[in-house]
Structure 1
Amino acid sequence: MAAAMALSAAMTEILNIAAGNLLSPMILAFALGVAAALLRSDLEIPEGAAKALAIYLMFAIGFKGGVAMHSASGLALLWAVVVAFGLSALLPLLAFGLLRGVWRQNRTDAAAIAAHYGSISIVTFVTATEFLRSQGIAYEGYLVAMTAVMETPAILVGLLLAGRQMQPGSSERGTLLREVLVNGSVVLLVGGFAIGWITGDAGLAKIRPFVSDLFNGALCIFLLDMGLVAVRQGRTARRFPRALILFGLVMPLLGAVFGFGGAALLGLGTGGAMLLAVLAASASYIAVPAAMRLALPAANPSLSVTLALAITFPFNVAIGLPLYLVVAQRLFGG
């Protein structure tokens, strides 16, 4: 009886937070993009503008994370990097096992999809940080550094799972490593983080209107574009296996469990635990598709990108954020 009452209370709390999240300007902007695409409106965010917004958002979140990390110990950052690397290497193995054993995907497609789910969605992370801010919940600054670390190992594991073999020293190998390690999102996050870490609060005071006051408005327009892209991407995947939709909904929940495990190892608070769960639950649709296109041209990109962008991303934004927050509050709020 007590367990049933506790479960009911938790569900009520999740629904209340979800309702507040769904009525936030950012989520409503995403919904507007979805509606416009479903209605086949000619609404479109110019590619150059969308790219500029992405650059701004990644730099701003990296910079603010570096400022927050300014006074933290180097040991905390080191352990955070170790946990991030471990998560990004382990999650593709889990995804690959499910895709091969349950969903019966061929080895190449399963490995490519697994790499996407071992990496992270920076847009989901940025949305989650703003969600926490709206709830008045702080988080550890080194979570930003963890996002940069989690971009790369999953790609390498995905290639190993696919049985990809490149000759040492080959130009192809060098091109792939450059694609992964010098990816624009990684450079912006790490660079912004470093600048914030070096300049601290004094640096933040100089550009606060830019990295803070404009942030929410830019995120609204960016999520509007993501809503448009998500629907149009899903519409173009005519031969998408409907059974895989379940994977796109189950894998984020499994990833979040691993994220909470990593948060326990690091001793994170509520906000940090929720963000690490979000990172582990998200799937890349920017950095990893570019790397997979180069390294695994035989893989079907419509499968992985549709799963990550049209299924997992909306699920995490609409349902996952409040769910992960309530779990984090129950497990890490004491």
Structure 2
Amino acid sequence: MLETVIGLAADNLLSPIILFFALGLLAAFLKSDLTVPEAVAKGLSIYLLFAIGYKGGVSVSAHGIDQTLLMTLAGGIVLSFAIPVIAFGLLKVMTRLNQTDAAAVAGHYGSISIVTFVAAVSVLQTQDIFSEGYMVAVAAAMEAPAILSALWLASRGGNRKNGNGDDSDGLIREILLNGSIVLLVGSFLIGLVTGEQGLKEIESFIVAPFKGVLCLFLLDMGLVAGRGLRSSSKVLTPGLIGFGIVMPILGSLLGLAAGSLVGLSLGGTVLMMVLSASASYIAVPAAMRVALPEANPSIYLTMSLGVTFPFNLTLGIPLYLFLATTIGG
């Protein structure tokens, strides 16, 4: 077992997308002046969300809407509601975080990292493993429920502060109109409507350049993660670091159970595991700034982007693939 996981991890670590992420981390730790301009990084993010959503919509158009798709969506939403509750309980055992900070961190782990999802899709394609295209719709559906669970967990302490935390209109806007969600869902729907004929018209733009753009984006993610770790290293207690590794593994097992239950393919099950194991660093932080302004962003951002994201990218995805192959058959 160990040799298989190590072999998969070694192959993954030698892929261009991981090596560019590592280059960004190294440059940040060495305090290099290497940087990706904010406008360029935003453009790369827009491209990736557009390409992922559109290709997912085309896949659903070809596949059709069936019971498995609907059950997978339902399973993803249930997991997004439930995982923060589990994460919150684990945080109370492993750390000394207060109610609000623990709820904010837990919310991040119930939501998803779209870049981790994309990296997993890339790994599956390299291994010639089929996965259902509609998993991108599941990714979009799992963004918001975790935020609601986090607010419920925070309210149980009875010590919420007044102010921006009670701005329900602002919170709803952050959840429903967050740019990444709008672009991902919108591109998915356009792909669903235009189908394979539409894909042929723009294939040269969204298929061939995709992995190159992903490499540049992960270079920027490495820079961001490395600088975040440097500046916020004091908040990372052993308990928090342990949680940032244990929680994704636990989440992946829940995703494995859900994928097996609804009858997903091997690749689809791996993607469900990745979605359940990842932690948001885009949609949820934006929502937490509105809903839980008293929560410490240096904790939840460092945990999701500085600990769990690198773990999933380097070791987690190969581990989840191995577990799905071994346990899921």
Q: Normalising by the residue count of structure 1, what TM-score does the alignment of the two structures yield?
A: 0.93
Distance 2:234 2:15 in 1: 34
Would the alpha carbon gap of residues 157 and 250 (structure 1) be closer, same or farther in structure 2, given more than 3 Å must change? same
Distance 2:68 2:197 in 1: 23
Partner of 1:34: 25
Partner of 1:114: 106
Matches within 5 A, 1:115-130: 115-130=107-122
State which drifts further: 71-80 or 122-131: 71-80
Shift of 1:166: 10
Distance 1:238 1:67 in 2: 43
Distance 1:238 1:84 in 2: 33
Is contact 1:268-1:332 (8 Å) kept? no
Distance 1:121 1:182 in 2: 17
Partner of 1:202: 197
SS at match of 2:131: coil
Task: Find out whether 1:189 has 2:184 as its counterpart.
Answer: yes
Is contact 2:94-2:243 (8 Å) kept? no
Is contact 1:166-1:172 (8 Å) kept? no
Aligned partner of 1:108: which letter? T
Shift of 1:171: 8.4
Given candidates 90, 95, 98, the residue that maps to 1:103 is 95
Partner of 2:210: 215
Question: Which digits, 9 at most, give the CA deviation of each residue in 1:89-110, with x for residues without a partner?
Answer: 0000001011123323210000
Distance 2:297 2:233 in 1: 13
Task: Find out whether 1:253 has 2:249 as its counterpart.
Answer: yes
Is contact 2:24-2:220 (8 Å) kept? yes
Q: In structure 2, list runs of 5 or more residues that go unmatched.
A: none
Partner of 2:143: 151
Distance 1:279 1:224 in 2: 22
Task: Find out whether 1:317 has 2:313 as its counterpart.
Answer: yes
Distance 1:133 1:48 in 2: 29
Distance 1:35 1:158 in 2: 33
Shift of 1:288: 0.5
Aligned partner of 1:264: which letter? S
Given candidates 132, 149, 160, the residue that maps to 2:152 is 160
Partner of 1:46: 37
Partner of 1:271: 267
Given candidates 14, 21, 26, the residue that maps to 2:5 is 14
Partner of 2:128: 136
Partner of 1:4: none
SS at match of 1:245: helix
Partner of 1:94: 86
Partner of 2:294: 298
Q: In structure 1, list runs of 5 or more residues that go unmatched.
A: 1-9
Task: Find out whether 1:81 has 2:73 as its counterpart.
Answer: yes
Aligned partner of 1:45: which letter? V
Aligned partner of 2:46: which letter? I
SS at match of 1:213: coil
Would the alpha carbon gap of residues 286 and 301 (structure 1) be closer, same or farther in structure 2, given more than 3 Å must change? same
Task: Find out whether 1:56 has 2:51 as its counterpart.
Answer: no
Question: Which digits, 9 at most, give the CA deviation of each residue in 1:271-295, with x for residues without a partner?
Answer: 0000110000000011101100111
Cα root mean square deviation, aligned: 1.6
Is contact 1:176-1:291 (8 Å) kept? yes
Partner of 1:235: 230
Distance 1:152 1:309 in 2: 18
Aligned partner of 2:26: which letter? A
Aligned partner of 1:35: which letter? L
Distance 1:73 1:187 in 2: 21
Question: Which digits, 9 at most, give the CA deviation of each residue in 1:287-315, with x for residues without a partner?
Answer: 10110011111101111100100110000
Distance 2:195 2:146 in 1: 31
Would the alpha carbon gap of residues 166 and 194 (structure 1) be closer, same or farther in structure 2, given more than 3 Å must change? farther
Is contact 2:81-2:110 (8 Å) kept? yes
Shift of 1:200: 1.4
Distance 1:277 1:307 in 2: 19
Given candidates 277, 286, 289, the residue that maps to 1:281 is 277
Question: Which digits, 9 at most, give the CA deviation of each residue in 1:191-246, with x for residues without a partner?
Answer: 11111111111111111111110100000000000000001011111431422111
Is contact 1:139-1:272 (8 Å) kept? yes
Shift of 1:77: 2.6
Is contact 1:30-1:226 (8 Å) kept? yes
Partner of 1:3: none
Would the alpha carbon gap of residues 11 and 101 (structure 1) be closer, same or farther in structure 2, given more than 3 Å must change? closer
Distance 2:161 2:146 in 1: 17
Work out the percentage of aligned pairs sharing the same amino acid: 53
